[in-house]
Amino acid sequence: MDMPVDRIEFETMLLGRHMNLLASRGGGRLDRSAYILLSRIQVEGPMSIGDLRDAFGLDASTLNRQTAAMLRAGVVERIPDPEGGIARKFVITEEGGQRLDQDRSENLEGLGSLLADWTPEEASQLADNLARLNRDIERLDGRPWPRDKP
């Protein structure tokens, strides 16, 4: 049997669009890049531009623009490296943590509504398959995302 890669490509494209629509509801939400960067800093702790570059494979100028916007928004602050290194690191501010938690809660609520007619087994199977897809992408990219569970 041939792999339905054309269907998978189409459905993942639509999923990205739909998740952006879900995330765009309501005012005051973090933009996509801030949400992702804050999520990574939340998992890993303080991170420098170099750490973020290594984690995401983005160039320093892109990260400087994104983190400058996050500094202006008050969702991160720069601190000296807790381990004594030269590079300053970004940490999430109290406001940043609250906004990240609020956005995540809204995302979870929206997804919960969308999956209301799914059985727990169907939802679990989707989660497992998405995790496998993401892990395989990360393996190819060489930049795994830290996870609580395998």
Indicate the pLDDT class of residue 2, thresholds 50, 70 and 90. confident
Q: Give me the mean pLDDT over the 77-92 stretch.
A: 92
- pTM for the model: 0.86
What per-residue confidence (pLDDT) applies to 27?
67
Q: Structurally, what CATH architecture does the domain formed by 29-141 represent?
A: Orthogonal Bundle (1.10)
Long-range contacts at 95-100 (CB < 8 A, ≥ 24 apart): 96/38, 96/70, 97/42, 99/28, 99/29, 99/30, 99/75, 100/30, 100/35, 100/38, 100/39, 100/42, 100/75
Question: What's the pLDDT at 19?
Answer: 77
Please give the mean pLDDT across all residues of the chain.
90
